[in-house]
């Protein structure tokens, strides 16, 4: 059903809980494993939110900032053709009380973005990226710490996230105290 409606459907499979019949079914239907994601967690508690030189983090509060965040997301994640979808998505969530959208500024220029979703005492760190020319300046780590601190201040007990296995993002999250809960395989149908 979803495969007929979504251009590139991803099926995530926990290797620990899968079986050969399910994997054979995915393969028979054209799905191929193309990578791994790690799910991470930590307690939501106050953290050091000191910023590196030249880096500032602010919560999106205007339409203009929401558009900037969406632009950073499609460029940072190299999502050609998704610009309108991401603009609409960020516009839909930045005003909601259960979502927060953040901009990272490096030397006063929009450089990164991230989102935080909070429900039932859990803060979910979502969609963080930094534009290539600003990487290595500490913006992503600052976004992680800010979202952990904001989740704790909002009454969350737990913070969760996911990222590609073995990536700089995983390393940044682990340096901020998140631990691996499990690894999962990503299956896609070739385009």
Greater pLDDT, 64 or 79: 64
Q: pLDDT tens digit string along 18-34?
A: 888 988 999 998 899 88
> What pLDDT was estimated at residue 29?
87
What lies within 8 Å, CB to CB, of 163 at 6+ separation is: 37, 38, 40, 169, 170, 173
Contacts of 9-14 with C-beta under 8 Å, sequence gap 24+, read: 9/188, 9/189, 10/186, 10/187, 10/188, 11/186, 11/187, 11/188, 12/37, 12/184, 12/185, 12/186, 12/187, 13/184, 13/185, 13/186, 13/187, 14/182, 14/183, 14/184, 14/185
> What pLDDT was estimated at residue 45?
92
Q: pLDDT tens digit string along 93-105?
A: 888 999 999 999 9
> What pLDDT was estimated at residue 93?
84
> pLDDT category, 191, cuts 50, 70, 90?
low
Which pTM was predicted? 0.86
Q: What is the mean pLDDT of the chain?
A: 89
> What pLDDT was estimated at residue 81?
66
> What pLDDT was estimated at residue 5?
60
> What pLDDT was estimated at residue 67?
85
């Amino acid at each position: 059903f979803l495969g007929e409606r979504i251009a590139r459907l991803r099926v995530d499979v926990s290797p620990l809980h899968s079986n050969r019949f399910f994997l054979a079914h995915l393969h028979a239907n054209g799905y191929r494993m193309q990578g791994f994601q790690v799910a991470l967690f930590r307690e939501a508690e106050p953290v050091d939110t000191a910023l590196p030189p030249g880096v500032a983090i602010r919560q999106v509060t205007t339409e203009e900032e929401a558009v900037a965040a969406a632009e950073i997301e499609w460029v940072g994640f190299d999502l050609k053709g998704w610009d309108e979808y991401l603009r609409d998505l960020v516009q839909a969530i930045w005003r909601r009380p259960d979502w927060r959208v953040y901009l990272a500024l490096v030397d006063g220029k929009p450089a990164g973005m991230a989102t935080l979703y909070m429900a039932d005492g859990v803060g979910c760190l979502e969609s963080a990226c930094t534009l290539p020319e600003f990487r290595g300046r500490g913006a992503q780590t600052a976004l992680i710490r800010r979202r952990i601190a904001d989740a704790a201040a909002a009454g969350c007990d737990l913070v969760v996230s996911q990222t590609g296995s073995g990536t700089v993002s995983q390393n940044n999250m682990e340096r901020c105290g998140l631990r691996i809960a499990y690894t999962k395989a990503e299956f896609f149908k070739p385009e």
